[in-house]
Amino acid sequence: MGRVALVGAGPGDPGLLTVRGRELLAGADVVVLDRLGTAQLLPYIRSGARLVDAGKAPGRQALTQAETNRTLVELAREGLNVVRLKGGDPFVFGRGGEEAMALREAGIPYEVVPGITSSIAAPAYAGIPVTHRAVATSFTVVTGHEDPTKDGDQTDWGILAKVPGTLVVLMGMGRLRGIADALIAGGRPADQPAAAVQWGTTPRQRQVVATLETLPDAVADAGLGNPAVVVIGDVAGLAGQVGWLGDRPLSGRRVVVTRARAQASGLSADLARLGAEVVELPVIRIAPIAGSPEIDAMTAGIRDYRMLVLTSVNGVEQLFARLRERGGDARSIDPDALVVAIGPATAEALEAHGVVPGLVPERFVAEGILEALAGRDLAGMPVLVARAREARAELVDGLRAMGARVDEVALYETLAEAPSAEDLDRARDADYLTFTASSTVRRFVDLLGDGGAASAGRGRVVSIGPITSATARELDLEVHVEAAEHTVPGLLEALLADAAGA
- The helix (run of H) or strand (run of E) holding residue 5 is strand 3-8
CA nearest to 99, candidates 117, 80, 72: 72
Least Å from the CB of residue 213 to ligand SAH? 21
Least Å from the CB of residue 192 to ligand SAH? 20
Least Å from the CB of residue 14 to ligand SAH? 12
Compute φ and ψ for 175, nearest 5 degrees.
-125, 30
Least Å from the CB of residue 186 to ligand SAH? 21
Least Å from the CB of residue 93 to ligand SAH? 4
Among residues 135 and 171, whose Cβ is nearest to ligand SAH?
Answer: 171
The three-class DSSP label of residue 440 is helix
Tell me the C-alpha distance between 142 and 287, whole Å: 48
By CB under 6 A, name the one of 157, 199, 305, 412 that touches ligand SAH: 199
User: Any residues with CB less than 8 A from the CB of 149 and at least 6 apart, and which?
Assistant: 178
Among residues 12 and 275, whose Cβ is nearest to ligand SAH?
Answer: 12
* Contact of 362 with 368, CB cutoff 8 Å: yes
Active-site hit among 34, 181, 407, 431:
34
Tell me the C-alpha distance between 197 and 206, whole Å: 6
Tell me the C-alpha distance between 141 and 143, whole Å: 7
Q: Is 150 a catalytic residue?
A: no
Among residues 233 and 465, whose Cβ is nearest to ligand SAH?
Answer: 233
Residues 278-337 that bind ligand SAH (CB under 6 A): none
Among residues 199 and 435, whose Cβ is nearest to ligand SAH?
Answer: 199
Residues 74-113 that bind ligand SAH (CB under 6 A): 87-89, 92-94
By CB under 6 A, name the one of 54, 168, 195, 197 that touches ligand SAH: 197
Q: Which stretch binds ligand SAH (CB under 6 A): 69-77, 191-199, 270-278, 395-403?
A: 191-199
Check binding of 118 to ligand SAH (CB under 6 A): yes
Max CA distance (Å), the chain? 91
The three-class DSSP label of residue 476 is coil
Least Å from the CB of residue 38 to ligand SAH? 10
User: Any residues with CB less than 8 A from the CB of 100 and at least 6 apart, and which?
Assistant: 6, 110, 112
Least Å from the CB of residue 34 to ligand SAH? 9
Least Å from the CB of residue 157 to ligand SAH? 17
Tell me the C-alpha distance between 253 and 101, whole Å: 45
Q: Are strands 30-33 and 110-113 parallel, antiparallel or unpaired?
A: unpaired
* Contact of 113 with 20, CB cutoff 8 Å: yes
Q: Is 217 a catalytic residue?
A: no
Instruction: Give strand ranges (E) for 74-221.
Output: 81-86, 110-113, 139-143, 166-170, 193-198, 206-211
Among residues 65 and 226, whose Cβ is nearest to ligand SAH?
Answer: 226
Tell me the C-alpha distance between 326 and 48, whole Å: 22
CA nearest to 333, candidates 353, 347, 348, 315: 353
Check binding of 123 to ligand SAH (CB under 6 A): no
Least Å from the CB of residue 202 to ligand SAH? 6
Give the dihedral sign, CA 57/264/451/418.
Answer: negative
Least Å from the CB of residue 280 to ligand SAH? 18
Residues 18-57 that bind ligand SAH (CB under 6 A): 37
Active-site hit among 29, 53, 171, 423:
171
Tell me the C-alpha distance between 234 and 211, whole Å: 10
Closest-approach residue to ligand SAH (CB) = 88
Site string for ligand SAH, 454-483 (x = CB under 6 A): ------------------------------
By CB under 6 A, name the one of 2, 200, 282, 459 that touches ligand SAH: 200
By CB under 6 A, name the one of 2, 12, 114, 233 that touches ligand SAH: 12
Tell me the C-alpha distance between 57 and 178, whole Å: 31
Tell me the C-alpha distance between 110 and 76, whole Å: 10
Among residues 116 and 495, whose Cβ is nearest to ligand SAH?
Answer: 116
List Cα–Cα distances, 429 to 104, 190, 203, 491, in angstroms: 49, 39, 15, 20
Among residues 5 and 229, whose Cβ is nearest to ligand SAH?
Answer: 229
Torsion of CA 289, 291, 295, 301, to 10 degrees: 150
Among residues 200 and 490, whose Cβ is nearest to ligand SAH?
Answer: 200
- The helix (run of H) or strand (run of E) holding residue 224 is none
Site string for ligand SAH, 222-251 (x = CB under 6 A): ----xxxx----------------------
By CB under 6 A, name the one of 71, 117, 312, 463 that touches ligand SAH: 117
Compute φ and ψ for 150, nearest 5 degrees.
-90, 145
By CB under 6 A, name the one of 202, 311, 436, 438 that touches ligand SAH: 202
- The footprint of ligand SAH on this chain (CB under 6 A) covers a number of residues equal to 25
Contacts 24+ apart (CB under 8 A), 19-24: 20/113, 21/113, 21/115, 24/83, 24/113
Among residues 228 and 406, whose Cβ is nearest to ligand SAH?
Answer: 228
Q: Is 56 a catalytic residue?
A: yes
Residues 150-179 that bind ligand SAH (CB under 6 A): 170-171
Give the active site residues: 34, 56, 171
Which spans of this chain sit near ligand SAH (rule: CB under 6 A)? 11-12, 37, 87-89, 92-94, 117-119, 122, 170-171, 197-202, 226-229
